[in-house]
Amino acid sequence: MPADDRSNKSPLLPLFAPIEPYQSGHLDLDAPHRMYYEQSGNPRGVPVVFLHGGPGAGASAVHRQFFDPAFYRIVVFDQRGAGRSTPLGCLENNTTPALVSDIEKLRETLGIEKWFVFGGSWGSTLALAYAEHHPQRCLGLILRGIFLCRKSEIDWFLYGIKTLFPEAWRAFAGPIPEAERGDLLTAYYKRLTDADPKVSVPAAKAWSTYEASCSTLLPNPGLVADFGSERIAFGLSRIEAHYFMHDIFLPENFLLDNVSRIAKIPATIVQGRYDIVCPVFSADDLHRAWPEAGYEIVADAGHSAFEPGIRSRLVAATEKFKAFA
């Protein structure tokens, strides 16, 4: 059974203080992609790699702060087509197997034998895919807001969320003509990949704002504004729709079917009880298939990694995992 924190008596752990990278650069991948990466913390510390969400959201400076910089060698990167990687929003050669290969190329480039893998939302999806392909490279997994990218989860994102966020869903579906709303994914994909920015940019902002509006237990206007900016919205929406259209380029139920490959790897799953973007049923399915993993449900949290309870549990996990180094 999961540890479902209903008491809220435990003190909340803060993030670590902001830090700057000691090294950053771009790694050439298959054309046309170049991947941004950075290292911070202790150059001789235990390696940990941060996998951002989306797909396509990109990483930011605050993501370094989940880790003790005196202990960890913190590797953060932007997945192909996202953030500071170029070209932004590029869908060419952009698949889950390619992202898994990119992580391995980065590990080899940095001379790292094994590392901890930390990922939330789509980052949990990619962490599972990477670990199932390369279990021998993983010291442990810290996963948050589980997303297995099954058809039922994609349908929930596109339609199910309206049962709890009807006003956000109306704003999402509203730009699409009523005749096309029976297949919102195809309708949005057509617009997001349109060469005319007057078509693609408004669609990108509508998609990204919808996701942000449903990501926290309580309204967070700052998050919504950030996701609604063209800088984030373009990469996030295009790449998410691309991956959803292609079932993340993996066989249906691949991640659950292959969880036995990672059963012996130390792992913690942190899930918000009221996560509407990636509902708790996916984390529950994963834990039932993988009972060896620790499983903590945060009773008063939604989806975002920066919900106070989730943030605290993630920091606690990175502290706990020092023992597995």
User: Is the domain of 66 the same as that of 84?
Assistant: yes
Instruction: Give the strand pairing for 115-120 and 294-298.
Output: unpaired
SS (H, E, C) 123-160: HHHHHHHHHHHCHHHEEEEEEECCCCCCHHHHHHHHCH
Q: Report the half-sphere exposure of 64 (CA within 13 A, side-chain side).
A: 22
Q: Which of 228, 247, 266 is the last residue of a domain?
A: 247
Q: How far apart are CA 202 and CA 234, in angstroms?
A: 9
Q: Which residue carries 């989730």 as its tokens? A: 310
Q: Does the active-site annotation cover 303?
A: yes
- Sites in the chain below the pLDDT cut of 50: 6-8
Angle, helix 230-245 to helix 221-228, in steps of 10 degrees: 80
Catalytic residue among 124, 275, 285, 287: 275
User: Is the domain of 215 the same as that of 233?
Assistant: yes
Q: Does the active-site annotation cover 275?
A: yes
pLDDT score of 3: 57
User: Is the domain of 258 the same as that of 112?
Assistant: yes
User: Is the domain of 189 the same as that of 301?
Assistant: no
Looking at residue 86, the DSSP 8-state letter turns out to be B
Q: Which of 197, 222, 247 is the last residue of a domain?
A: 247
User: Is the domain of 306 the same as that of 242?
Assistant: no
Q: Are 175 and 200 in contact (CB under 8 A)?
A: no
CATH number at residue 101: 3.40.50.1820
Instruction: Give the strand pairing for 23-28 and 72-77.
Output: unpaired
Q: Which of 232, 247, 262 is the last residue of a domain?
A: 247
Catalytic residue among 52, 68, 303, 304: 303
pLDDT score of 229: 86
Nearest CA-CA partner of 158 in 172, 174, 179:
172
User: Is the domain of 195 the same as that of 308?
Assistant: no
User: Is the domain of 212 the same as that of 277?
Assistant: no
User: Is the domain of 236 the same as that of 282?
Assistant: no
Q: How far apart are CA 136 and CA 100, in angstroms?
A: 14
**Model-level pTM?**
0.95
Q: Does the active-site annotation cover 30?
A: no
Nearest CA-CA partner of 214 in 183, 171, 152, 271:
171
User: Is the domain of 291 the same as that of 146?
Assistant: yes
User: Is the domain of 38 the same as that of 74?
Assistant: yes
141: buried, middle or exposed (CB in 10 Å: 19+, 13-18, 0-12)?
A: buried
Q: How far apart are CA 189 and CA 310, in angstroms?
A: 32
Predicted confidence (pLDDT) per residue in 308-319, tens digit: 999 999 999 999
**Number of domains present in the structure of the chain:** 2
User: Is the domain of 144 the same as that of 164?
Assistant: no
Nearest CA-CA partner of 88 in 248, 239, 242, 195:
239
pLDDT score of 6: 47
pLDDT score of 145: 98
User: Is the domain of 243 the same as that of 263?
Assistant: no
Catalytic residue among 40, 85, 121, 312: 121
Domain enclosing residue 198, as ranges: 151-247
pLDDT score of 115: 98
Predicted confidence (pLDDT) per residue in 212-253, tens digit: 999 999 989 999 998 888 888 999 999 999 999 999 999 999
